[in-house]
C-alpha cells in the first residue's frame, strides 16, 4: 500500500496528494504532525529514502535554527529532534513498498508509482 506523509497546510504536500489522487491507486494518508512517526518508523523511512537523517530536516524552520543549527548532532540526535518536533520533517514523503521519495518537487512522486 502506498503511503503519503502529509501536511495539509503545505502547498507541496497538497500537490503531492493530488498526484496520488490522480494516479487512481489506493493509498494511505499519514498526517505526520498529528500522528508523529516513532524513532523506529523514521529510521525505516530514512533507510528507504537512502539519505542521512540530516537530509530529511527542514533546516529553515525556526525551531531548527534556534535549537540545533551549528551543533554537531549524531544521526540518532537528529532523528530524536524530528520526533520531538515533527515540523522539522521534510514533506511530502511517499512510500511504495520498499521505496520512498521526498516529493520535492512533487512531480518526483510519479517515479515510484
> Do the bridges between strand 2-6 and strand 27-31 make them parallel or antiparallel, or are there none, so unpaired?
parallel
Q: Which residues contact 16 (CB under 8 A, 6 or more apart)?
A: 4, 6, 91, 92, 94, 103, 106, 109
Query: How close are the terminal C-alpha atoms of the chain, in Å?
Result: 11
| 10 counts as catalytic | yes
How many residues can be counted in the chain? 113
User: Active-site residue among 2, 3, 10, 63?
Assistant: 10
Catalytic residues: 10
Amino acid at each position: 500500500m502506498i503511503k503519503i506523509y502529509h501536511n495539509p497546510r503545505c502547498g507541496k504536500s497538497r500537490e503531492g496528494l493530488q498526484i496520488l489522487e490522480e494516479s487512481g491507486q489506493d493509498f494511505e494518508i499519514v498526517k505526520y504532525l498529528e500522528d508523529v512517526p516513532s524513532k523506529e518508523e523514521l529510521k525505516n523511512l530514512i533507510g528507504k529514502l537512502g539519505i542521512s537523517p540530516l537530509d530529511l530536516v527542514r533546516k529553515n524552520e525556526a525551531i531548527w535554527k534556534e535549537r540545533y543549527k551549528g551543533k554537531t548532532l549524531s544521526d540518532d540526535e537528529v532523528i530524536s529532534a524530528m520526533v520531538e518536533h515533527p515540523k522539522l520533517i521534510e514533506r511530502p514523503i511517499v512510500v511504495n513498498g520498499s521505496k520512498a521519495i521526498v516529493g520535492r518537487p512533487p512531480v518526483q512522486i510519479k517515479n515510484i508509482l
